[in-house]
Amino acid sequence: MRQPHRTALFASLILVICAGVLWVAYDWFQGRYLRAFSEHTAVFSGDPLRLPAELAGPGPIRLVHFWDPACPCNVGNQQHLGELIEQYAPKGVEFYALQKPGSHGQLPENLRRMKILDALPGADQVPASPAVGIWDRSGKLAYFGPYSEGLTCNSSNSFIEPILQALEAGRAVNATHTLAVGCYCSWPKGS
């Protein structure tokens, strides 16, 4: 009768050790790769935004990505933005990036095809990033706001695909005032 108790004790000990190793591995992974994001409410108003003089007026559909390299919320939309570039750049949509003034950093590899803007009139009024402005073919601001609501962005919850599809089809879009809840970082200087 001693043998079955030993086997059960040995199996229990192995099980406890495995559970401990799994817990340590999970805790390490969570501390290293998972970040807690708090949702913020942001009111986006595109009234002050203007394209730079060299881009203003009639032309292709233009998308401007407002980003802050220090903002952890960028992670939630970078892959989706890369997919937008792959899908819409061949259709003539031009993609630009505007980095938060005073910040330092580089776009990820998949976004380096974007043209860099040094400044954009009215950008000092942008409330939060990541954000996007889309100008139609006539040079009128059609959309200004977040990529989506929530902590992540993909084609299933994005506001951008429907806007680009409508503009490509020649339909007018006027969505320059947006209230959204999601992962955003403050944009104004000194924030």
The CATH number that applies at residue 73 is 3.40.30.10
Mean pLDDT of 41-57: 92
On whether both 58 and 148 belong to a single domain, the answer is yes
Q: What gap in Å lies between CA 161 and CA 13, rounded to an integer? A: 54
| pLDDT reported for residue 191 | 46
- Rounded CA-CA distance 116/130 in Å is 15
pLDDT, residue 152, reads 59
Domain that holds residue 22: 1-34
Structure tokens at 6: 């030993």
Q: Do residues 44 and 19 share a domain? A: no
Percent of the chain with pLDDT over 90: 55
pLDDT digits (tens, 9 = 90+) for 54-86: 999 999 999 999 999 988 888 778 888 999 999
Distance CA 146, CA 129 (A): 8
In a domain, 1, yes or no: yes
Indicate if 91 and 108 belong to the same structural domain. Answer: yes
Name the pLDDT band for 39 (thresholds 50, 70, 90): confident
Based on the fold, state whether residues 46 and 123 are members of the same structural domain. yes
Given this model, what pLDDT does residue 190 score?
47
Residue scoring higher pLDDT (5 or 96) = 96
DSSP 8-state secondary structure symbol assigned to residue 97: E
- Split into its structural domains, the chain has a count of 2
Binning pLDDT at 50, 70 and 90, where does residue 34 land?
low
- For range 11-32, the mean pLDDT: 86
Indicate the helix (H) or strand (E) that contains 4.
helix 2-33
134/168 same-domain check: yes
Q: Are residues 95 and 172 in the same domain?
A: yes
Report yes or no on 182 lying in a domain: yes
If DSSP codes are grouped into helix, strand and coil, which group holds residue 160? helix
Give residue-wise pLDDT tens across range 120-133.
999 999 999 999 99
